[in-house]
Amino acid sequence: MTGNGFAIDAQRLTKVYGNLVAVDHVDLRVPAGSIFGLLGPNGAGKTTIIKLLTGLSDLTDGTANVAGYDVVRDPMHVKQRVGWVAAEVILDDDLSGWENLWLQAKLQGLSDWKGRAEQLLAYFELTDRRKDKVGTYSTGMRKKMEIALALLHQPEVIFMDEPTIGLDANVRRMLWELISGVNRQFGVTVLLTTHYIEEADRLCDHVAVIDHGKFVATGTPAELKARVKADFIELETSQAVTPERLASVPGVTEVRAEGAAWVLRVDSAEATLPPLLQTVGADGIRRINVQGPSLETAFIDLTGKRIDQPGSDVQDYRKFYLNVRRARR
Ligand SMILES: Nc1ncnc2c1ncn2[C@@H]1O[C@H](COP(=O)(O)OP(=O)(O)O)[C@@H](O)[C@H]1O
Ligand SMILES: [Mg+2]
């Protein structure tokens, strides 16, 4: 922890790749013991921030203090005090749970690790399966094992990069409980990245909404929701309708195309729906969806777009890790 109660305290954090400013003068303060979420679409700069804060990538500009140490002057101390749960699988399937812990201890040069390993196995209810190959574990058990590995050296801060990407809803919910449990039980500060709005809402004490390398808003989920003074109506029509026509409906303050649908920002959905239905014609509506203030609408309001559209992310994720593997060869 830094002297001022922040586990992470970064100022003007910046990373430039060639012409691209991937992280653009970001100020980030994470209270010790909290769960902090970086919420943003693919390419927003989330992973780059983790790389900067863990000393894996050099800062172009700015300063960062993590777990009490300066990442530029003291990267080794930072690495000893932080853990990382990567989005990609790091387990060795041919080794047992216990052997994976042993390997992790070797990699990190830990001498006195067995008691801690036993404690973690018990906490994650994996003691019975410790001698089984990790390849035989369920998805949920594998996630537990990955978190156990990240906690083995008793880090003060753990970084989780899109921890629930590609998981089905049940496993995702289980993982949320695990993450908040680990946060409480071990007092570890968690910085996670996500592009799932519900995840940020349910799990995080504080959220920074990031887009194009910049924080567009930070606050508790409740604070971010309270900023939104509008409702959103999403609308798909069977007949072509012009944005001008939609904008002419009383109470509509903004019209945006979103694939085959229109997204209307309105002062009040209740007041706008009747004239809207009249304008478009109730028969002509294929789908209509109203959203009140939520972190989702806050995000749309802040960035002008949605993020958790299914499909695209998984492709990018695969592509990204394919690149990583290529780069490693
Ligand atoms: N090593 C790199 N070299 C060049 N550009 C990079 C590199 N790593 C990331 N980027 C670019 O920086 C931006 C932010 O990437 P990233 O931090 O991975 O975003 P996120 O994790 O939010 O999806 C993207 O435009 C990405 O293409
Ligand atoms: Mg990323």
Q: What is the pLDDT of residues 31-81, one digit of tens each?
A: 999 999 999 988 999 999 999 999 989 999 999 999 999 999 999 999 999
Q: Hey, whose CA ends up nearest to atom 8 of ligand 1?
A: 48
pLDDT over 60 at 323, yes or no: no
Range of the domain at 246: 230-292
Q: Is residue 284 part of a domain?
A: yes
pLDDT score of 310: 43
User: Domain with 152 in it: what CATH number?
Assistant: 3.40.50.300
Q: Which of 203, 225, 247 is the last residue of a domain?
A: 225
Token code pair at residue 14? 């910046």
Q: Which of 192, 225, 258 is the last residue of a domain?
A: 225
Q: Which of 182, 210, 225 is the last residue of a domain?
A: 225
User: Domain with 248 in it: what CATH number?
Assistant: 3.30.70.260
Distance in Å, CA 139 to ligand 2 centroid: 21
Residues 161 and 279 in one domain: no
pLDDT over 80 at 261, yes or no: yes
Q: Is residue 1 part of a domain?
A: no
Spatial CA neighbour of 25 closest among 187, 198, 157, 216: 216
pLDDT tens digits, residue range 3-34? Answer: 579 999 999 999 999 999 999 999 999 999 99
Whose tokens are 């749970």? That residue is 97
Note if the pTM is more than 0.85.
no
Residues 79 and 172 in one domain: yes
pLDDT tens digits, residue range 70-80? Answer: 999 999 999 99
pLDDT tens digits, residue range 204-246? Answer: 999 999 999 999 999 999 888 887 778 889 999 888 889 999 9
Instruction: Tell me the pLDDT band of 165, cut-offs 50, 70 and 90.
Output: confident
Distance, in Å, from the CA atom of 51 to the CA atom of 226, rounded to the nearest integer, reads 32
Q: Is residue 304 part of a domain?
A: no
Q: What is the mean pLDDT of residues 302-328?
A: 49
Distance in Å, CA 102 to ligand 1 centroid: 33
**What CA dihedral angle connects 57, 60, 61 and 65, to 10 degrees?**
10
pLDDT score of 116: 96
β-pairing verdict for 261-266 and 206-211: unpaired
Percentage of the chain exceeding pLDDT 90: 63
Distance in Å, CA 329 to ligand 1 centroid: 20
In the predicted model, what is the mean pLDDT of the chain?
88
Residues 187 and 271 in one domain: no
pLDDT score of 12: 98
Distance, in Å, from the CA atom of 259 to the CA atom of 33, rounded to the nearest integer, reads 41
pLDDT score of 168: 85
Residues 194 and 239 in one domain: no
pLDDT over 90 at 314, yes or no: no
Distance, in Å, from the CA atom of 12 to the CA atom of 55, rounded to the nearest integer, reads 16
Residues 112 and 47 in one domain: yes
Count how many domains the chain has.
2
Q: Which of 4-8, 163-167, 263-267, 294-298 has the lowest mean pLDDT?
A: 294-298
Distance, in Å, from the CA atom of 285 to the CA atom of 225, rounded to the nearest integer, reads 28
pLDDT score of 31: 97
What is the position in ligand 1's atom list of the atom closest to the CA of 40? 22
pLDDT score of 326: 43
Q: Which residues have C-beta atoms less than 6 Å from ligand 1?
A: 17, 20, 22, 40, 42-48
Mutate to test the pocket of ligand 1, among 19, 39, 48, 56 (most ligand atoms within 8 A of CB): 48
Residues 39 and 85 in one domain: yes
Q: Is residue 326 part of a domain?
A: no
pLDDT score of 322: 41
pLDDT score of 213: 96
Residues 163 and 236 in one domain: no
pLDDT score of 298: 81
pLDDT over 60 at 313, yes or no: no
Residues 209 and 95 in one domain: yes
Q: Is residue 136 part of a domain?
A: yes
- Following DSSP, what letter does each residue of 186-245 receive, concatenated? H--EEEEEES-HHHHHHH-SEEEEEETTEEEEEE-HHHHHHT---EEEEEEESS---HHH
Residues 79 and 160 in one domain: yes
Residues 187 and 234 in one domain: no
Q: Hey, whose CA ends up nearest to atom 2 of ligand 1?
A: 17
Residues 204 and 282 in one domain: no
Q: Hey, whose CA ends up nearest to atom 27 of ligand 1?
A: 43
Instruction: Tell me the pLDDT band of 1, cut-offs 50, 70 and 90.
Output: low
